[in-house]
Amino acid sequence: MIDRDIKQFVLKALLRAKDQPIQDDTLRELIRAAFRHVAIAEPDLTACFKELETCGLIVGNNDAVFGWNWALTLSGKPKAQQIP
C-alpha cells in the first residue's frame, strides 16, 4: 500500500513542478517529509523511481552538475492528472 502511495506522490509532485525536473535529492526529501511516519530505505526509493521509469511514466537524467533529475514523461502526465 505504501509503495503505491509513494509512487502516486512522486507522480503528483512531478506534475506540480509544471514540466520542470526535480532533483533526486529534493524529491527524496519531499517523500520523506510526506511519509515521515514510515521508515523508507534508500534502495526502496531507488526501486520506486526505476519502476516508474520502466513503466514509462517518469524519466531520469543524470546531469554532471546537478546529479539525477526526474520529470514526467508525456504518458506520465495524464496518469498523474488522474490521481485524486
pLDDT in tens, 25-84: 999 999 999 999 999 999 999 999 999 999 999 999 998 888 999 999 999 999 999 999
Q: Are 58 and 11 in contact (CB under 8 A)?
A: yes
Structural domain boundaries, residue 29: 2-78
Residue 84 forms part of a structural domain: no
Residue 44 forms part of a structural domain: yes
For residue 31, the model assigns a pLDDT of: 97
Per-residue pLDDT band at 1 (split at 50, 70, 90) = low
Instruction: Mark residue 60 as left, alpha or beta (left: phi above 0; alpha: psi -120 to 50; beta: remaining).
Output: beta
pLDDT tens-digit readout, 4-41: 999 999 999 999 999 899 999 999 999 999 999 999 99
Residue 83 forms part of a structural domain: no
